[in-house]
Structure 1
Amino acid sequence: MTASGLQGAPVTKLWLTGIGLASALAGLFGWRHNLRLQLAAAPNGLQLWRLLTSLSGFSTWPEVLAALVLAYELRVVERVFGSRRFASFLVVAGVVGQALTVAAMRLAGLRAVAGGPYALLLACVCQYWRLVPRSYYVRVAGVAVPDTWGVYAAAACLVAPRLLVAAVPAAAGVVAGMAYSADVAGLGRWRLPLWMASLARQWLAPVVSARSARTDADVAPEHVDAIASMFPDARREHIAEVLRMVGNDANRAVAMLLDSS
């Protein structure tokens, strides 16, 4: 049995809430123009605060809907990574993605690109492609596609309608995700400080993650014990979550944990 909903993914839940709230406030108060990342709005060519606001929300509701669906599907990445590493990954992807976006805009002479966390979402798609195995194939319109096709379809639905203005941040996200996977300059090993993770767990976890009554009862305790001995730094809850994702298959769980380490 796999975990349902956003169980085991508190960072994803907070991220979903943030995207929806930021997009709604931008629409309500007429701030949508502030979500664009643009280079010609200040004497020095860049308003630094836009590096943050352009990652917060989207300017149109079709984008918001597609992004929320995609981020929800990508919750699997957090379950494999663990919440602290996933939050660290989002920070790295945001910094690298924005740097690459600005560099590409200057090289191409672009004044602005679409606002929204395209880079973060596409970087997550890269991790999903690397970590989540294709278990079986289904037929869609007569074509055999892997069972993971929904994530890639959601990503296409997000980017394709605004391809001309979203291609640069989306491509930057893909490159950032690949750089993270390859551990370029130690990016894949960087983690948020423990004190920051502890504060988030203390103050934010009660708000965004309701405790589920489910325990490790639906996974084999001997599998959890065996894998815990191989990954002493991994929490038992994290190991159990990965086991649920792969149908209690210990070999596949070990492979996923190795890939995510």
Structure 2
Amino acid sequence: MVTTSGFTNAPATRAILTFLVSASLATSILSLKPYLPLKPTPHLWPYLQLWRILTFQLAYTSSTELLFSAAIIYQLRVLERIWGSRKFASFVVASYGLCMAGTVSLGLVSKMLTLGWWGYIPSGMTAIIISLVAVWRRELPRLGGFKILLDDSSTSTRGIELSEKWTIYLLTAQLALSQFPYGLLPALVGWIVGNAWADELVPGGLVRWRVPGWIVGEDAAGKRGREQYEGLRRRLEEENQDGMREVSDGVARGRQGGQEERRGFLGGVGRYFGGGT
């Protein structure tokens, strides 16, 4: 499905994947894993560690979740190629905030409804990645698929039809079930955020909001493009001027030659009838 290899034309995807892997490895090496997950009690109350709300999505504490997330992000680089780096980065930033607010709010509600039993929010970008999968599913049409037959009969038509996207769905399901049942909460929030974005139901016009161009290097690239375009325009103008000058000189020489030819012809006629040689 993806014809371009590597991270060609996908710098934002490469940056996100590099940051996620580096942050997860750093937290493991520095023994910071206990500071990543979020528990409403006691982290938010009574300890008032509100900074955990901003940081619990930055890294994973499990290598399994990190592996699934890295594989999904790599496959979703095609979405950046369709949207462009600036729109893709804008969605990730907006999704970070929406998933943060939705996961924390739903976690608090779940804790109250379960009388304190549901009091754990796992760390990692699970909600953001699944929101990307939800948008990717809407943006990319189904190109093909295959059927798994349920019996070996040559005339049988009973089977399970799968699209070419089944590998992404399988990895997404594995990611959502990695810390069952607690991983289902951020997965649900991410799926809701992604579909709400695709249907333009998010508040505040976030669908049309864009990060500054310099974050994804568009300003520098645009400046280089304008400079190249300006140089090309000047060269074309100079070539056009030289060409017009040559054409004008050719026309002038043609007119002068024609006048001389006419004068020579008329002079010969006059000499003929006048008896001259």
Query: TM-score, length-normalised on structure 1?
Result: 0.71
Separation in structure 1 between the aligned mates of residue 27 and residue 185 of structure 2, nearest angstrom: 22
> Contact between 1:182 and 1:188, CA under 8 Å: does it hold in 2?
no
CA separation of 1:137 and 1:172: change in aligned 2, threshold 3 A: same
Separation in structure 2 between the aligned mates of residue 141 and residue 111 of structure 1, nearest angstrom: 43
Residues 1:178 and 2:195 are matched in the alignment? yes
Deviation at 1:111, TM superposition (A): 2.5
Paired residue secondary structure (1:162): coil
Partner of 1:131: 139
Deviation at 1:52, TM superposition (A): 3.1
Deviation at 1:134, TM superposition (A): 1.0
Partner of 1:49: 51
Deviation at 1:181, TM superposition (A): 1.3
Unaligned runs of 5+ in 1: 206-261
Separation in structure 2 between the aligned mates of residue 159 and residue 204 of structure 1, nearest angstrom: 39
Deviation at 1:204, TM superposition (A): 11
Residue identity over aligned pairs, in percent, reads 29
Query: TM-score, length-normalised on structure 2?
Result: 0.67
Deviation at 1:112, TM superposition (A): 2.0
Higher relative contact order (CA 8 A, sep 6+): 1
Deviation at 1:65, TM superposition (A): 0.6
Match of 2:184 among 147, 154, 167: 167
| Greater Rg over alpha carbons, structure | 2
CA separation of 1:4 and 1:163: change in aligned 2, threshold 3 A: same
CA separation of 1:163 and 1:133: change in aligned 2, threshold 3 A: same
Separation in structure 2 between the aligned mates of residue 140 and residue 169 of structure 1, nearest angstrom: 32
Deviation at 1:60, TM superposition (A): 1.1
Runs of 4 or more above 3 Å deviation: 42-46, 139-143, 202-205
CA separation of 1:42 and 1:133: change in aligned 2, threshold 3 A: closer
Match of 1:66 among 42, 65, 68: 68
For residues 90-146 of structure 1, the C-alpha deviation after alignment (integer angstroms, 9 at most, x for no partner) is 111111111111111111114321110011001001111101111111245863300
Question: What do you get for the CA RMSD once the two structures are aligned?
Answer: 2.3
Separation in structure 1 between the aligned mates of residue 35 and residue 8 of structure 2, nearest angstrom: 33
Partner of 1:198: 214
Deviation at 1:57, TM superposition (A): 1.3
CA separation of 1:164 and 1:187: change in aligned 2, threshold 3 A: same
AA partner of residue 121 (structure 2): V
Match of 1:94 among 96, 113, 130: 96
Unaligned runs of 5+ in 2: 112-117, 151-159, 222-277
Separation in structure 2 between the aligned mates of residue 163 and residue 70 of structure 1, nearest angstrom: 19
Paired residue secondary structure (2:177): helix
Equivalenced residue count is 202
Match of 2:174 among 140, 157, 171: 157
> Contact between 1:39 and 1:47, CA under 8 Å: does it hold in 2?
no
